[in-house]
Amino acid sequence: MDLVLFDLDNTLISGDSDFEWAQFLINKGVLDRELYEARNLEFYEQYKAGTLDIDVFLDFQLQPLARYPRHLLDAWHQEFMARHILPIVSHKARALVREHLDSGALCAVVTATNSFVTSSTVREFGIAHLIATIPAQENGQFTGRPRGIPSFREGKILRVEAWLEAMGLWWSSFERSWFYSDSQNDLPLLSRVSNPVAVDPDPTLRTHAEAAGWPVISLLA
């Protein structure tokens, strides 16, 4: 059996769901445009440059979840999925996931974006396992803080290994392991698997992938 891991943003979907979720809330008037829009873009540019402070970003990204009741957040998220996410899911991405699922591989999405934003997208692909940053809750209400280790950079390896151990598995349990990603931030996990694949990679990842002889593919429509 193979282990197949997928990044989500700019890999399985042709955009960044963290960025899009904040923009969605700004456009609805939930978040103040003057206060949030420039900061949202700044964090996105830091992520692409590989300089993002994940703790500072999560404070920005998770605090709005704590201000509203869950039923309202869920309703907004359904609208967000329909307007922002489903239009950027390509047939190529669906076909790649289906190929691995049909082969009997154990598949998971491993993303730094929080599980509230990403869980519906992962279900859309038919993938049963999501390893994401976890927004903490108390009595069903988000607290505005993360719980545990963020699924980011080296944290992705720690979270994947904890997930595997919980099932009595380890890297050596699999004939091959795959990770598909677009981002230089994922070089730690890409370097951990036996079959790293760069997907529409950023310039830093493309340079690394070409030097290392990793496959470079595109999932754009």
Which residues are known to be catalytic? 7, 9
Q: How far apart are the C-alpha atoms of 114 and 155, rounded to whole Å? A: 13
The candidate with the shortest Cα–Cα distance to 77, out of 39, 134, 107, 118, is 118
DSSP single-letter state for residue 173 = G
The candidate with the shortest Cα–Cα distance to 150, out of 142, 162, 165, 139, is 162
**How many other β-carbons are positioned within 10 Å of the β-carbon of residue 2?**
16
**How many other β-carbons are positioned within 10 Å of the β-carbon of residue 35?**
10
The candidate with the shortest Cα–Cα distance to 151, out of 58, 83, 68, is 58
Instruction: Work out the burial of residue 108: count CB atoms within 10 Å of its CB; fewer than 13 is exposed, 13-18 middle, 19 or more buried.
Output: buried
Q: 52-63: b or e for each residue (b if 16 or more CB lie within 10 Å)? A: bebeebbeebbe
